[in-house]
Amino acid sequence: MVTKRRAYDVAVRELRRMYDILKRSKLLYAFPFGKTFDNVLRILEEYNKSVKMVSIKKLGIGGGVSFIFGILLWCGFPALIRSQIKKAVQLKPGSEIRDMWSVVPFPLDFKVYMFNITNPDEIKEGKKPRVQEVGPFFYDEYKVKFDLVDREDEDSVEYSMKTTWFFNPKKSNGLTGEEIMVFPHLMILGMVGATLLDKPAAIGVVGKAVDSIFHKPDSIFVTAKAKDILFDGLPIDCDVKDFAGSAVCNLLKTEAKDLVPDGENRYKFSLFGGKNGTAVSERMKVLRGVRNYKEVGQVLEFNGKPALDIWPEDHCNAFNGTDSTIFAPLFGPDDDVVSFGYEICRSLSAHFERHTKVKGVKTLRYTANLGDMSTNPMEKCFCRTPETCLTRNFYDMTKCLGVPIIGSLPHFYDTDGKYLEMVDGLRPNQDEHEIDMDFEPMTATPIRAHKRLQFNMFIQPIPKFKLMKNFPNALLPLFWVEEGILLGDEFVNKVKVVFKVMTVVNFLKWLLVLGGIGMGGAAGFFYYKNRDSGKLDVTKVTPKASGDDNKTEKSWPPGMNISTISAAVPSSLDRN
């Protein structure tokens, strides 16, 4: 078809050239075929022009359609993506996100770093504590939500929670859990600390109970394997008959949730053993995000209550943010990431820090801290008493846990340094000890995250308790944990698919818009160029006698007055 069309155009051009030659030589109408030649050429050029105009019209229509479709794609596709993301994040029964939210399909990283006491005898004599960090003891952490109950009327789902840890020796840098540690006996230290806060006059009774239950220990520091301190447990003998021992044991049986039975009136106490694979007694209720995607995961109730009741101010008791396992998508640097941590009885806000890139995905880096209860009026209600507010990045968890535990960032990172000077062996740094998260903001996917918290206890001289009679004043670091995630390639690739589609669509929208503009412009150009192409003017051809301008004009040949159509040609070509 293209070859035939080109041959046709060549033929018409050749006829036009012959026509112009004959016209200039005054021979066009010398013979009867002149008019026929003229009419044939006119018909061919009119047909040629009509064919060209049809092609130009098609080109213009194609350009217009391409441009309009490109604009629709430009404006409509982002809205379509946002709409699909809003639907995908809803915690509807049977949805993919609901299944992943209920049972996380991969383990989280759970690392424990313990502080080994290297100078226990010197501490007994009042010297500064010296600690050595040992870790990480690496565990695969599996989180499960079960017994889910949906309530359509309030767009909520209620569930129970369970966390299970499995030791991972391959990621523990050679540690096995068999390492011998010198560590404060947290049961003894907790009993003494709680008594000093609530009933300091009863410290003598506690001393007698310690001698009875723990068989007259000679130090508050215990030498034991790391795995016994963390999970397997240290023995507590409540098979005692004395008043002090029986009274304390009865209290422990009702108040200490993490004791694991080990025979009749015998128990084991560890940091995590009592929680391992055990359902949390309190249930959580959160919004599903079906009515409003921004509300997905927001906490409505915990333990059947719409707020906590342990702090003196309502805003400290409020459940702000999500349950920390899901976040609303489509946020940006101006938005904070807020979650409620039932383990620490409060909500925390993470603030945007900078743009990052993790595994080829553009992310937003968020960081969080524990605030400053000594200077921030909105955080003073987290103080144990108005007179005992701690400084920046220290959090008194006594009311939350029932034991005098002080939370901080690892190694007292980002504090005023007062307590850091009371202990040797701590080396805080941002990369290892900050709370940070890298989110892909469109889908709210945490590509990388590190939730870190250190647990500490105050020590001081206690004249009526012989094991701590000459102790120094210090905030003693015990251990710190890191719950982290670096999303696997399988799940990162799912996130990347969204952006691959967006990249293709971005290319297409520019291609269609610019292509449409180009096609439309080309159609306009060709239309203008061919507007006068092949246009034939009607003229009267009356040949004159050569060289005799004064003679009367007459038809030539005689008796013929021929009307014809002559092609308009440039004046430069119409010369004798």
Beta strands in 249-332 (DSSP E): 260-261, 266-269, 278-279, 284-287, 299-302
Cα–Cα distance, 45 to 9 (Å, whole number) = 9
Sign of CA pseudo-dihedral 65, 66, 72, 75: negative
Q: Of the candidates 360, 365, 364, 383, which has an alpha carbon nearest to the alpha carbon of residue 373?
A: 383
Query: Would you state the pLDDT for residue 539?
Result: 46
Give the residue among 441, 443, 444, 495 at the shortest CA–CA distance from 332. Answer: 441
Partners of residue 131 on adjacent β-strands: 117
CA distance 444 to 498: 13
Q: Which amino acid is at 233?
A: G
- Both structure tokens of 174: 């050679």
- Distance between CA 267 and CA 326 in Å, rounded? 37
pLDDT digit of tens for each residue in the chain (576 aa)? Answer: 545 556 556 655 655 665 566 555 554 455 454 555 566 556 555 555 555 555 666 666 766 666 676 576 666 667 777 888 899 999 999 999 999 999 999 999 999 999 999 999 999 999 999 999 999 999 999 999 999 999 999 999 999 999 999 999 999 999 999 999 999 999 999 999 999 998 999 999 999 999 999 999 999 999 999 999 999 999 999 999 899 999 889 888 887 778 899 989 899 999 999 999 999 999 999 999 999 999 999 999 999 999 999 999 999 999 999 999 999 999 999 999 999 999 999 999 999 999 999 999 999 999 999 999 999 999 999 999 988 999 999 999 999 998 999 999 999 999 988 999 999 999 999 999 999 999 999 999 999 999 999 999 999 999 999 999 999 999 999 999 999 999 998 888 888 777 666 666 665 656 656 665 666 666 666 666 666 554 444 444 444 444 444 444 444 444 433 333 333 434 443 443
Where are the chain's structural domains? 2-80+506-567, 107-185+220-233+270-487, 186-219+234-268
CA–CA distance, 465 with 461 (Å, rounded to integer): 9
> Using alpha carbons only, what angle is made at residue 114 by residues 325 and 257, rounded to the nearest 5 degrees?
60
pLDDT for position 183: 97
* CA torsion, ordered 511, 513, 515, 519, to nearest 10 deg: 170
Instruction: Return the pLDDT at 19.
Output: 58
pLDDT, residue 143, reads 95
Question: How many other C-beta atoms are found inside a 10 Å radius of the C-beta of residue 206?
Answer: 22
Task: Write the DSSP symbol of residue 42.
Answer: H
Record the tokens describing residue 315, joined without a space. Answer: 């805003």
User: Cα–Cα distances in Å, from 381 out to 285, 368, 372, 401, 457?
Assistant: 25, 19, 11, 16, 21
The pLDDT, as a whole number, for residue 520 is 60
> End-to-end CA distance of the chain, in Å?
41
Residues with Cβ within 8 Å of residue 448, at least 6 apart in sequence? 358, 363, 437, 438, 484, 485, 486, 487
For position 519, what pLDDT does the model report? 61
DSSP secondary structure, 105-160, as one string: SSPEEEEEEEEEES-HHHHHTTPPPBEEEEEEEEEEEEEEEEEEEEEGGGTEEEEE
- Closest by CA to 226, choosing from 176, 172, 174, 166, is 176
pLDDT the model gives residue 27: 47
Residue 232 DSSP label: I
Taken in order 212, 214, 217, 220, the sign of the CA dihedral is negative
C-alpha 551: how far from its chain's center? 98
